[in-house]
Amino acid sequence: MNCNFFISFLLYFKKTKLPALLFFLLPWVFIQTSCKKLVQVDPPINSIITQQVFADSADATAAVIGMYAKLAKNYTTLTTGSISPGIGFQTGGITLYTSLAADELYANVANSSYQHESPFYANAILSSSTFNYTNMWQAAYTVIYDINACLEGLGSSNTALVFSTKNQLRAECKVARAFMYFNLVNIYGDVPLVLTTNYETNAVLPRASVNDVYEQIIADLTSAQTSLPQTYLTTGRGRVNYYVATALLSRVYLYRKQWALAEAAATQIINAGQYSLSPLNNVFLSNIITTTNKEPIWQWFPTSDKTGGYETYEGQIFVALGGVVPNYIISDSLLNSFEVNDQRKNNWLKANTVGIGVQAKTYYFPYKYKLQNDGTIVPKELYVVLRLGEQYLIRSEARAQQGTDLTGAANDLNMIRTRAGLPNTTASTPSDLLTAIYRERRLELCCEYGHRWFDLKRTGLINAVMGGSTGACATKGGTWSTNWQLFPIPFDEIQRNPFLTQNTGY
């Protein structure tokens, strides 16, 4: 299917005003079209195509929907023409590689297909690592290019595109870009701040400081808030609204130690009236199918080059059939952190017992996402990118850090504990509350979008947890270096760009 056909489809879409659910499914349609010129990574976007796509509201909206499709894409078409599972930066990569690097997961060493992940687990990533480059760095900047292309197309459009729609679409793109840079800066530290599609300029960009990247993230999110509605624009919670921007902003403020701002932003989400904690087994279900699931703030619809009912990438790589050793196994450190009767252990982890009698051994694996390939076109589970549970923990921590509302901090923490089937916390001092909150974050957000790895770094606990003779790195057979809390800048990128420098220790 070529680009001209796709342009015609957009025009037909505008005239017929298809139902909202089909509009939400448009990312899947977009991926199937192979309309590469709209989202080409290396050369600039064709100007004629850009003028047509951003000519009016329906066409421009469909183009931005295509940006969402790239965010949530599960599979990569190889240059040979075959199709293979392709873990992406934001679709499995952040979760998997940081969980291995921290103290959450280890890989099944008996499965040779997963040997390439051993450097992440051993905290011995080489700057020449193909997976660090292709699946993480390059995948992230590919999506950022597409986001910038949409922003530029919307910014240069001077046709009949409705002004309010134009600003709203730009706001959606800014939130997506903020999300990408938030994760990049927490994985690599200083990173190039690419804000245009000018590949000649981008090719020689130096690394921007962490502070400068965060300033851009905050600028994007606060700008987006002014143009986004509080309601969701289509069926489900796939497109960005005001509360998506605010939820990500509350996390950013927490990481920047801006406690009062983090508390205020989280409070907006909690008091919004459209979010509530769901039963544990409902949290990661599609809000379209399970309309009672009110916890997700931002959900992504998995898209794929491959047809046949594929669900999230996490579900495909983590879930193991009964009687086999899982590909990725929960560490003893994480497993032993659950309190007795914690229902998250029963609902978000699953165990396979392999062997008979005295030879039997039980292996736990992540089970938040429970489906692999269920044969249905519409996925039953969606990527849960932002959810209410985290907002309670953000506000709890922000309150404990300020020390002015310790009762409120404990109450927020107890919201999460009660849902998990646990009694109220006994912590009452700021120090004890923070210890309890960090423990709760480890369990509530385990194996989910890098939270554990990022938390260890931002709280200053990483050297204590990973180092020493009994630390996580030692249990992996290595000796911890504080330099390893940042992944290396890919050597291929440094070769191409003389202005890029490497992280210390690589």
Confidence of residue 379 (pLDDT cuts 50, 70, 90): confident
Residue 68 to residues 61, 154, 346, 497: CA-CA distances in angstroms?
Answer: 11, 16, 33, 29
* Pairwise CA distance, residues 451 & 173, whole Å: 23
Q: CB under 8 Å to 219, separation ≥6 — which residues?
A: none
pLDDT tens-place string over residues 140-195: 999 999 999 999 999 887 666 788 899 999 999 999 999 999 999 999 999 999 99
Confidence of residue 341 (pLDDT cuts 50, 70, 90): very high
- Please state the φ and ψ torsions of residue 258, each to the nearest 5 degrees: -95, 75
pLDDT tens-place string over residues 428-487: 999 999 999 999 999 999 999 999 999 999 999 999 999 999 999 999 999 999 999 999
Confidence of residue 32 (pLDDT cuts 50, 70, 90): very low
Where is average pLDDT lowest: 28-42, 62-76, 370-384, 418-432? 28-42
* Pairwise CA distance, residues 378 & 238, whole Å: 14
What is the rounded radius of gyration, in angstroms, for the C-alpha atoms of the chain? Answer: 22
* Pairwise CA distance, residues 107 & 119, whole Å: 11
pLDDT tens-place string over residues 229-244: 999 999 999 999 999 9
pLDDT tens-place string over residues 267-304: 999 999 999 999 999 999 999 888 999 999 999 988 76
* Pairwise CA distance, residues 483 & 272, whole Å: 41
Do β-strands 328-330 and 296-300 pair in parallel, antiparallel, or remain unpaired? unpaired
Q: CB under 8 Å to 448, separation ≥6 — which residues?
A: 95, 368, 384
Options 3.20.20.70, 1.25.40.390, 2.60.40.1260, 3.80.10.10; CATH for 3-77+88-302+384-496 is: 1.25.40.390
Q: CB under 8 Å to 281, separation ≥6 — which residues?
A: 347
Residue 182 to residues 140, 220, 229, 427: CA-CA distances in angstroms?
Answer: 11, 11, 23, 31
The pTM (predicted TM-score) of the whole model is 0.89
- How far from chain centre, in Å, is Cα 31? 20
